[in-house]
Structure 1
Amino acid sequence: MSNAESNPVEFEINNHAPGTALNPQCEDGANVEIITSRAVPLGGPRAMTVQRTLPQRQRSLIGAWCFVDHYGPNDVSLTGGMDVAPHPHTGLQTVTWLFQGEVTHHDSGGNHAVVLPGEVNLMTAGAGICHSEVSTISTTILHGVQLWTVLPEKDRQGPRRFDHYRPEEISVEGGSARVFLGSLFGQQSPVTTFTPLLGAEIHINPGETVTIDVDPTFEHGLLVDAGEIQLEGITVKPAQLAYTGVNETQLRIRNTGTTPARTVLLGGEPFEEDIVMWWNFIGRSHEEIAEYREQWQAEAERFGVTHGYIGHTPDGLHRLPAPELPNAAIKARKNPAPTARPETRID
């Protein structure tokens, strides 16, 4: 998915002193830092609104996860659904995960797919790619998450790649799970990532707790889609992202409500490289981003051509133009230390 903002927000994120007090609501539990979302229109005259939790001024990365959009359930007859014309990416992987509805994917690597709920669609941009995403005509409700991960220096100029995988739903004590990236609950996803990562949809039964043994070298973020959820005793509202830092070996997710709850757990080893992230590009300097933008506007070979895109409106754009660059140089993002700060909230 594109970041379709006409004026992409630039964040400068500074290091903060980590919190030290134990979570008072769960004895010996992990500290929990709440990251709230902001509403962002996805573009078009009837723009579908997404709730964005990453990137934020408060925190820019969780592992290599650098972009988290949560949307729906959206009635496409009111919102127009998803219709994102061909647009570019560099230096990242896009991860599409649906709860409801269907999305067609076409990219300049010659890949074409219909993404269904419970299937992961992972596209590796490498040095450059362009793609389109459109909700199908049969979709009435669109609901899911769109995620990006940063490629490390050694892989970011590599080839385009596309992976499509349907993980098995497994029963766990207190609920169920689908592990779409990495390893959890004894399940291993075969999908290739370029840094150690975790991605899983976790359902929690009413009034029950799912206890998760996690990798202590990972930092984690729990996105709540639906339900009355507590992570380590701290309430996490729908569309919020609850962050826990490294050195945790167990996380406890409790559903305090009377209806089933759905969450997405993201994790990874802290990503220590400095990155510059603007619009749909990830690079390492302002000059590199400016070059990517110029090449996209010039329809350069770096990004190729997406074939098969059919938008919802016949007079719509055939490719998304890049916004104007900011007047000031785009700075590298500085992420806080991988330690949760319970007292920190920057809305």
Structure 2
Amino acid sequence: MEFDNYQKLKEKYSEKKLFDTYYIDLEMVETSFDDNWVYLLQRVDLDSENHDIEILSSVKNSLDERLKNLDVSQKYSKDHSSWSVFYTLKEIIDQIEECLPEEYKTYYRGQSGGWELQPTLFRVGENGYSDDFRNNYDHIYKKISKKFPEDVGYFPRTESSMDERATNLAELQHYGLGTPLIDISENPFISMLFMVDGYSGQGLEPQLDVFFVRDDGNNSLFQEVVKKKQNKRISVQKGAFLNFDRLTQENLSGVNKIPRICIRLKYLENEFDAQEISDLPDGGAGLYVDTESKKNRVLQTAVSDIKNKLTSYHYRTEDLFPDFYMYLSVLKSKYSDIGNTKKEKWYQVSD
């Protein structure tokens, strides 16, 4: 509300200034199973940075103690030479929730790459928006509300109408228009599904963000909205938002940072000495595959493993989109005639 338009807000925004982030990296190397290159979870790396926010510092200290001796490299099943990345994520989430004081609850966001955390309205390029759109956003929003008053109402960026505005902006986001809202969910498995669904590879390193929300409502960006009948998706996805309409000059200048934990899937290059190479079953032939190809395969098999586990817990993409038109769209994609649709193991991924 301290900015005339969203273009100015975008120019001021910096993820590092807004969030105080504790990074937890799940580091994976390559191995092979059943003649397939797959991931091997090597270790959980905890960042050593100091964090000024009391709640984040407290949770970090507790987590460090709980996770530092977690030996994820142990074999636990026939087709896993280490812990599954899914169960490692679940263990970390369980530990976070145990460390968090009772007056807080956790919300999550999954994304398939490590790009800057920002609302869709701030995106640029082919899948983003022009400066002109951000400069004239409220004019465009008001015009939409006049043309489709039964679907969306216009509310200005004022403190008194913040909740009503967010509810109606959520409608615009529901139909695919960029808004100052970032989707989050109170269900970590739903966020994991968004993290891996539609994963395109290309070396992207998926991440799961964790946010702490106070029960007393004293939160700077957290926004719940009215669950409208025509927007069933918010209820099904256990959704809420980070509302960038609530950003202040203090937020953007690095004062009053928001605590955040970011769990990242990371590729780690395997390192062997001469003796270890000679002892490998293939004599080290796999070491000469280019790094980018190995990284892609490691991350793709990790993502495939997570999707496989989520399916076994009955978390499927089509269930997250109860809207008739979106449900049909998901089904169309699922059953497209793309040749061989034989069900494969999690470690059997296409190049």
TM-score, normalisation: structure 2: 0.22
Hey, which of these two has a bigger chunk of helix by percent?
2
Based on CA coordinates, which of the two structures has the bigger radius of gyration? 2
TM-score, normalisation: structure 1: 0.22
